[in-house]
Amino acid sequence: MLHQKLREYAKLLLTSGVNLQKNQTLFISVDVESKEFAYIVTEEAYKMGCFEVVVNWRSIPVAKQRLLYARENALIRQPNWLSAYYKTYVDRKSAFLSLISANPKAFSEVPPKRLAMQGKSLNDALSFYHQAIMGSQLTWCVASVATLDWAEALNYTGTNDEKISALWMDILRLCRLVDVPEEEYITSHLTNLKKRTERLNALNLEALHYTCSNGTNLTIHLPEGHIWQGGTELANNKIEFNANIPTEEVYTAPQFNGVNGIVYATKPLIYQGNMIKNFYFKIERGDIIEIHAEKGQEILEELISTDFGSHFLGEVALVDHYSPISQSNKIFYETLYDENASCHLAIGAAYPTCIANNEGKSAEQLRDRGINYSMVHVDFMIGHEDMNIVGIKKDKTTVPIMEHGRLLV
């Protein structure tokens, strides 16, 4: 039964996810530990008439050894072939599928500065790829794969096979593929998310004000012409795709210099294989001016210091506290899942597609309109059962957006 469900999951990623077209190239990034599922996706892609499947294999143990022991010059300078490799498939308008899994302690022994060195050099080398993704110049999707490391981090019990199988069934359930009524199946769910974005866009809000019993008190101004997105979206070539599976969020871009107040994270953030826990930011005119973390302070400081744009926010996302992922009562240690259990914000780059008339605009032109640019985009979770959000309209009247964790739009 599980094998058949994994084929259905693979088909979902290729259809509702990247929306693979006949004679299109599929570019898969995946850990070698997940090779069996990669084989399934590859086979299903060829059945759909794929031109070719290109697999970009990763290995966490090898990556860790490199980060610990490679010469610094190797970390700060990426080889020319890497950017050429990605550019080949970006230029071909390939569909990009990233298959990920959580390993919250993967790089816990690596000095933060070495992580930052490699992260910055990779972002520099692949900036064109990240811009293509952020600007929806390509169809792309991020989804997860069950692994033993992840299952053990979540305290599944039994044999190794039983742990992995149990995690797979949770993934399928939370992706709305099994054990859900027809009206909550993923296709219907994506339609409902689209309707929510339409209602939010009709409000044409000027700002959002967040308050919560944990101390969050934050006002986020929204740029003129902002657009709420959620569920499926259109790439520049008018092909519909879904960037995240699962997804529970609707999101837009904040006015990058229009955020003020204090905000507390409500779930751990796993960044570059390290855990950042119990942290908050104080923000003035968009700039993160104060950081405090009970765990992972140095990692968080390195992240915020990546570039000018990493001092600001690039995404504001709304998620009902009572989403299926939230109600599972698990911290998944994987942003793809934890962000879909909780309202969240993102440090760094905004999606240019979150503002009208963005096509052909430079990063400077978009920033003039309030859209942040950075080499990083890192989500952190702020949702809470006591979260209240009020929308402020241009005439200063208000409309309730969330009350005690429940979305009202």
Instruction: Quote the pTM value.
Output: 0.92
Percent of the chain residues past pLDDT 70, beyond the cut: 100
pLDDT for position 179: 82
Do residues 296 and 161 both lie within one domain? no
Please tell me the distance from the alpha carbon of residue 48 to that of residue 16, in angstroms, as a whole number.
13
Total number of domains constituting the chain = 2
pLDDT score of 181 more than 90: no
Please tell me the distance from the alpha carbon of residue 196 to that of residue 70, in angstroms, as a whole number.
48
Listed residues 175, 190, 210: the one ending a domain:
175
Q: 16 lies in which domain range?
A: 1-175
Do residues 151 and 214 both lie within one domain? no
188 within some domain: no
Do residues 128 and 164 both lie within one domain? yes
pLDDT for position 172: 95
Do residues 10 and 141 both lie within one domain? yes
182 within some domain: no
pLDDT score of 365 more than 90: yes
Question: DSSP E strands: which ranges in 285-325?
Answer: 287-295, 313-318
- Identify which of 294, 333, 290, 286 has the alpha carbon closest to the alpha carbon of residue 312: 286
Percent helix, percent strand, percent coil in the chain, to nearest 5: 40, 25, 35
Do residues 218 and 155 both lie within one domain? no
- Least confident range from 62-76, 173-187, 200-214, 258-272: namely 173-187
Do residues 276 and 145 both lie within one domain? no
CATH number at residue 28: 3.40.1830.10
Please enumerate in sequence order all residues whose Cβ is within 8 A of that of 91, keeping only pairs 6 or more positions apart, or say none. Answer: none
Please tell me the distance from the alpha carbon of residue 55 to that of residue 6, in angstroms, as a whole number.
19
In which band, very low, low, confident or very high, does the pLDDT at 316 lie, cut at 50, 70 and 90? very high
Percent of the chain residues past pLDDT 90, beyond the cut: 88
Q: How confident is the model over 257-315, as pLDDT tens digits?
A: 999 999 999 999 999 888 999 999 999 999 999 999 999 999 999 999 999 999 999 99
Do residues 163 and 217 both lie within one domain? no
Do the strands 344-348 and 313-318 form a parallel or antiparallel pair, or are they unpaired?
Answer: antiparallel
Please enumerate in sequence order all residues whose Cβ is within 8 A of that of 114, keeping only pairs 6 or more positions apart, or say none. Answer: 67, 68, 72, 75
Do residues 152 and 269 both lie within one domain? no
Q: How confident is the model over 145-158, as pLDDT tens digits?
A: 999 999 999 999 99
pLDDT score of 176 more than 80: yes
Please tell me the distance from the alpha carbon of residue 282 to that of residue 270, in angstroms, as a whole number.
20
166 within some domain: yes
In which band, very low, low, confident or very high, does the pLDDT at 256 lie, cut at 50, 70 and 90? very high
Please tell me the distance from the alpha carbon of residue 260 to that of residue 287, in angstroms, as a whole number.
8
10 within some domain: yes
Do the strands 95-100 and 25-31 form a parallel or antiparallel pair, or are they unpaired?
Answer: parallel
Inter-CA distances, 375 with 182, 350, 366, Å: 40, 10, 15
Please enumerate in sequence order all residues whose Cβ is within 8 A of that of 340, keeping only pairs 6 or more positions apart, or say none. Answer: 244, 246, 247, 248, 249, 319, 323, 325
Dmax (CA) of the chain: 61
Do residues 147 and 79 both lie within one domain? yes
pLDDT score of 133 more than 90: yes
Q: How confident is the model over 34-89, as pLDDT tens digits?
A: 999 999 999 999 999 999 999 999 999 999 999 999 999 999 999 999 999 999 99
pLDDT score of 183 more than 80: no
393 within some domain: yes
Tokens of 321: 């506290």
pLDDT for position 182: 76
Please tell me the distance from the alpha carbon of residue 349 to that of residue 104, in angstroms, as a whole number.
24
190 within some domain: no
243 within some domain: no
Do residues 151 and 275 both lie within one domain? no
Inter-CA distances, 37 with 20, 128, 246, Å: 17, 29, 17
Query: pLDDT averaged over the chain?
Result: 95
- Contact, 303 vs 341, CB < 8 A? no
28 within some domain: yes
Do residues 262 and 333 both lie within one domain? yes
Do residues 31 and 107 both lie within one domain? yes
If you write DSSP's letter for every residue of 319-338 in order, what string do you get? --TTSHHHHTT---S-HHHH
